[in-house]
């Protein structure tokens, strides 16, 4: 499968624990995005990268959240001291980052986080 991949697909944790998710974008895609989706809602933007540079963080991203893309390829999203309100589907997307008219954001399958 050459699409965006995410690991793990499901994560159940206890409140207060730290969790880390990984996203592998489509090869040669320079831009990588993290979104969060709760039940019955559309995805909400969290943060995005151009290669290894983090370009923007949403106000939704509290200090407990940190994202990295150290080599400009895969990215990790870490949530420290998880809370029940963090339970959601965490979606990753990638795009070429080119200015051409055919570029688009492709989504991964998501990591479903349940905080007990």
Partner 1 sequence: GENVEQHPSTLSVQEGDSAVIKCTYSDSASNYFPWYKQELGKRPQLIIDIRSNVGEKKDQRIAVTLNKTAKHFSLHITETQPEDSAVYFCAASRTRNTPLVFGKGTRLSVIA
Find out whether 41 and 60 touch, Cβ atoms under 8 Å: no
Binding mask 58-77 for partner 1 (x = CB under 8 A): x-------------------
> H or E stretch including 89?
strand 88-95
**Residue 33 binding partner 1, by CB under 8 A:** yes
State the Cα torsion 83-5-28-61 to the nearest 10°: -10
- Report the C-alpha gap between 60 and 38 in whole angstroms: 13
**Residue 52 binding partner 1, by CB under 8 A:** no
Binding mask 6-25 for partner 1 (x = CB under 8 A): --------------------
The interface region with partner 1, picked from 20-28, 65-73, 75-83, 106-114 by CB under 8 A, is 106-114
Here the tokens at position 53 are: 């540079």
The interface region with partner 1, picked from 13-21, 63-71, 79-87, 93-101 by CB under 8 A, is 93-101
Quick one: 105 exposed, middle or buried, by C-beta within 10 A (0-12, 13-18, 19+)?
middle
Q: Under the rule (CB under 8 A), what is the footprint of partner 1? A: 4, 31, 33, 35, 40-45, 48, 56, 58, 91, 95-99, 101, 103-110
């Amino acid at each position: 499968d050459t699409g965006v991949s995410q690991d793990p697909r499901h994560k159940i944790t206890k409140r207060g624990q730290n969790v880390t998710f990984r996203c592998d974008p489509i090869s040669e895609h320079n831009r990588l995005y993290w979104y969060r989706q709760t039940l019955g809602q559309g995805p909400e933007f969290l943060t995005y990268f151009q290669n290894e540079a983090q370009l923007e963080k949403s106000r939704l991203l509290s200090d407990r959240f940190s994202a990295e893309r150290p080599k400009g390829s895969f990215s990790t999203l870490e949530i420290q001291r998880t809370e029940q309100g963090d339970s959601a589907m965490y979606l990753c997307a990638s795009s070429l980052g080119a200015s051409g008219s055919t570029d688009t954001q492709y989504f991964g399958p998501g990591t479903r986080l349940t905080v007990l």
